[in-house]
C-alpha cells in the first residue's frame, strides 16, 4: 500500500522499574501503519503487545516508562506533545479498544450517556444532538433496537453487545486509527466472528487504520494486511499476511504456525521450552535457547533485521548474507 505512514513507531523502548532492576518489556520495536491498513501484532502472553499499545497512547504508568524511540503520528512526534494535546489525540485521532468490555465501560452510566459524554468531551455534539448521534453510532455497530438500547446500562447487555458499544465509543470521534487490544479474546467463538466482521466493515466504512493485537494467528489471518510477530519484547518478523503464513522466515513464526490448531492433516506441535522472563533474556537471540536452527552466533548478539522477501523482515542469522561464516553486513541494517 502506498502513501506516507499514518503512524511510525521507531525503536520504541519501554521499561518497568522493578525491585530487581529495570525490565525491558518493549525493546526497540519499530513498525509503520499506513492509511487504511490493518497491522496485526501477534505473540504469546507477556511478549509486550499491550505495553506497546499503551506506549503508543502514552498511557504507560509507573513503574513503567518509555525510555527510547519515537512515535510519529502523521509526522508529528507524539512524545513531544504536551499532555493536553495528547488527550485530544486520544479518541479524536487514535482510539483504543480494550480486551475486557465490562471493565472499560462505566457500570453506573447508561451506554447512551457514555457515548454522549465522549462526543461532548471532544466537542462533537451535545444535548439532544449527542443522544441522536449516540443512537446513530449504536445503529452503525449493528446493535438491534438502538433507540431502546441507548438507555441500557452495561450489565443489561451481552458480552458481544458490550464489545459493540466499545467499538461505537472508539468510532465516536471519527479517529483515523484504532488500536484494538485482544478485542475478541473474552468472547465466545461465534460472537468473535461477528465482532471481527464488524471491525472489517467499520474499517471500510470509516476509512480506518487498525492495529489489531491478538495472540490468535487465525484472527490475524482473517483481518490483517500485514503481521508483526513479537517475542520477548522484540518484533522478530514482519511482513504481508500471506507471506507470514506461507513463507514464514523466522523459526519462531514457523513454530507458532506449527502449533496452531485447525490446520488439516497437521499435528499440533508445542514449542519446546518456555518464553524467557523479561529481565532474564539470553545474551543473543531471545528465541535461541528454544530454536531448532540455532548456531553459535545466535548466543552472542541479538540479530538485527534482515530483508527476507518483499516488505518482509526477520531478526534471524539464518538470513545473514554469510550465515555460517564470517558475520556479514545486515541487508538493511537494524531498525
Ligand X SMILES: Nc1ncnc2c1ncn2[C@@H]1O[C@H](COP(=O)(O)OP(=O)(O)OP(=O)(O)O)[C@@H](O)[C@H]1O
Query: What is the smallest separation between the CB atom of 161 and Mg ion, expressed in angstroms?
Result: 23
Q: Which is nearer to ligand X, 60 or 95 (CB)?
A: 60
**Cα–Cα distance, 135 to 69 (Å, whole number):** 41
For the chain, where are the alpha helices, taking DSSP H only?
49-56, 83-92, 101-104, 111-121, 127-140, 146-149, 159-171, 189-206, 217-223, 241-246, 251-258
Binding test (CB under 6 A) with ligand X, winner from 18, 103, 126, 301 = 18
Determine how β-strand 7-18 pairs with β-strand 64-73: antiparallel
| Number of residues lying near Mg ion (CB under 5 A) | 2
47 binds, among Mg ion, ligand X, none (CB under 5 to 8 A by kind): ligand X
Q: Which is nearer to ligand X, 46 or 194 (CB)?
A: 46
228 binds, among Mg ion, ligand X, none (CB under 5 to 8 A by kind): none
Site string for ligand X, 72-91 (x = CB under 6 A): --------------------
Q: Where are the alpha helices (DSSP H) in 57-125?
A: 83-92, 101-104, 111-121
Burial (CB count <10 Å: 0-12, 13-18, 19+), residue 324: exposed
| CB neighbour list of residue 84: distance below 8 Å, 6 or more residues apart | none
By CB under 6 A, tell whether 278 contacts ligand X: yes
215 binds, among ligand X, Mg ion, none (CB under 5 to 8 A by kind): ligand X
215 touching ligand X, by CB under 6 A: yes
Rounded to an integer, what distance in angstroms lies between the CA atom of residue 204 and that of residue 236?
A: 29
Residues with Cβ within 8 Å of 51's Cβ and at least 6 positions away in sequence, in order, are 14, 25, 26, 60, 64
Asked whether position 46 contacts ligand X by CB under 6 A, the answer is: yes
Binders of Mg ion in range 17-56 (CB under 5 A): 49-50
Q: Which stretch binds ligand X (CB under 6 A): 4-12, 32-40, 47-55, 81-89?
A: 47-55
Query: Where on the chain is the footprint of Mg ion (CB under 5 A)?
Result: 49-50
Query: Where on the chain is the footprint of ligand X (CB under 6 A)?
Result: 16, 18, 23, 25, 43, 45-51, 63-64, 215, 278
Amino acid at each position: 500500500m502506498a502513501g506516507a505512514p499514518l503512524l511510525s513507531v521507531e525503536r520504541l523502548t519501554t521499561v518497568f522499574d522493578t525491585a530487581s532492576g529495570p525490565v525491558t518489556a518493549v525493546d526497540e520495536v519499530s513498525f509503520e501503519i499506513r492509511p487504511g491498513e490493518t497491522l496485526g501484532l501477534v505473540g504469546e502472553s507477556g511478549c509486550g503487545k499491550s505495553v506497546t499499545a499503551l506506549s503508543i497512547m502514552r498511557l504507560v504508568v509507573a513503574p513503567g516508562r518509555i525510555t527510547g524511540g519515537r512515535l510519529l503520528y502523521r509526522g508529528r512526534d507524539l512524545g513531544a506533545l504536551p499532555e493536553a494535546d495528547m488527550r485530544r489525540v486520544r479518541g479524536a485521532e487514535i482510539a483504543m479498544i480494550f480486551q475486557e468490555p465490562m471493565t472499560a465501560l462505566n457500570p453506573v452510566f447508561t451506554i447512551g450517556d457514555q457515548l454522549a459524554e465522549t462526543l461532548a468531551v471532544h466537542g462533537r455534539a451535545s444535548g439532544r444532538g449527542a443522544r441522536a448521534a449516540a443512537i446513530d453510532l449504536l445503529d452503525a455497530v449493528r446493535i438491534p433496537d438502538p433507540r431502546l438500547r441507548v438507555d441500557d446500562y452495561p450489565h443489561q447487555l451481552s458480552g458481544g453487545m458490550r464489545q459493540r458499544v466499545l467499538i461505537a465509543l472508539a468510532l465516536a470521534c471519527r479517529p483515523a486509527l484504532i488500536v484494538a487490544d485482544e478485542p475478541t479474546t473474552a468472547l465466545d467463538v461465534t460472537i468473535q466472528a461477528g465482532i471481527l466482521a464488524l471491525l472489517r466493515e467499520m474499517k471500510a466504512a470509516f476509512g480506518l487504520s487498525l492495529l489489531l493485537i491478538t495472540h490468535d494467528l487465525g484472527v490475524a489471518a482473517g483481518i490483517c494486511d500485514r503481521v508483526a510477530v513479537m517475542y520477548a519484547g522484540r518484533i522478530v518478523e514482519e511482513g504481508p499476511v500471506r507471506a507470514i503464513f506461507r513463507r514464514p522466515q523466522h523459526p519462531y513464526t514457523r513454530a507458532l504456525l506449527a502449533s496452531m490448531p485447525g490446520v488439516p492433516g497437521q499435528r499440533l506441535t508445542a514449542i519446546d521450552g518456555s518464553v524467557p522472563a523479561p529481565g532474564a533474556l539470553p545474551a543473543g537471540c531471545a528465541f535461541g535457547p528454544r530454536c531448532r536452527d540455532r548456531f553459535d552466533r545466535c548466543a552472542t548478539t541479538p540479530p538485527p533485521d534482515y530483508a527476507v522477501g518483499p516488505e518482509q523482515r526477520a531478526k534471524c542469522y539464518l538470513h545473514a548474507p554469510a550465515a555460517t561464516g564470517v558475520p556479514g553486513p545486515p541487508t538493511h541494517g537494524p531498525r
